Homo-oligomer: A and B are copies of this chain.
Amino acid sequence: MTGSTRGPNDPRRRERILDAALDVIAEHGAIKVTFRKIASAAGVPLGSLTYYFDDMQHLLTEAFTRLAESVSVRYGALLEAARTPEEAQEAVVEIICGKVWGTDRNLLLSYELYAFAARHPELTEVLRSWMHASRQSLARHFDPLTARALDALVEGFSIHNSVDARPTERADVAAVVRAVATPRTPPDGASR
């Protein structure tokens, strides 16, 4: 009674399709996405896809939007849990090293998203919201510039660590985060 799997009303089907699309992109690359692969991954008939989505571009746009939002949420959750500046720094380190969003899958999807967004302006806004949300999460604990810097660091380290044969170790990442995050008085008032 709690919802047949195929009835005329399957309100979760849209979401299933979007998740399947991300799965297919993650597995084969956006370069090889096809309606047929998505339909098969989602376990829905081919005609469903164009019934729910005007065309592939719209489908991908929604799928990537969904990705950005879900990653964003997890990013924020970790920082929200932090209670002290030290915990906040630790959260950043965890985001970088603990693969909170930097799963290979998510990282991969984010490359595809960046590439796709560069050609589809409607996704630029999604990207901006995502970045803005990350910075806001960081801004609960750090000043705005530091928030920007840490966000950039998360991006850069995540990418490089995924490529690196010997990723930067957690303690080292922590040291860098501390350097960026700790305010300090210039040594002798010299520079700038």
Chain A residues with CB under 8 Å of chain B are: 28-31, 33, 104, 107-108, 111-112, 114-119, 124, 127-128, 131, 145, 148-149, 151-157, 159-160, 163-165, 168, 171-172, 174-176, 178-180, 182, 184, 187, 191-192
**How far is A114 from B157 in the complex, measured between Cα atoms in Å?**
14
CA distance A67 to B33 in the complex (A): 25
Q: Which residue of B lies closest to A134 (CB)?
A: B160
Query: A-B pairs with the 7 shortest C-beta distances?
Result: A152-B156, A156-B156, A155-B156, A111-B115, A111-B114, A149-B176, A152-B157
- Measured CB to CB, the closest approach of chain B to A75, in angstroms, equals 14
- Whether A128 and B163, one on each chain, are in contact in the complex, defined by CB atoms closer than 8 angstroms, is yes
- Residues of B within 8 Å of A148, CB to CB, are 160, 168, 172, 176
User: Given the complex, which residues of B lie within 8 Å of A184, measured CB to CB?
Assistant: 179, 184, 187
Which of A111, A112, A127, A156 has the most chain B CB atoms inside 10 A of its CB? A156
> Shortest beta-carbon distance, A9 to chain B, in Å?
17
Bound complex: CA of A174 vs CA of B186, how far in Å? 13
- Within 8 Å by CB of A115, from B30, B131, B155, B157, lies B30
Find A153's partner among B131, B156, B182 (CB 8 Å cutoff).
B156
Besides A127-B163, A149-B176, A155-B160, 10 other A-B contacts (C-beta < 8 A): A29-B119, A30-B30, A107-B118, A111-B111, A115-B115, A117-B163, A124-B163, A152-B156, A152-B168, A179-B179
Chain B residues within an 8 Å CB radius of A153 = 149, 152-153, 156
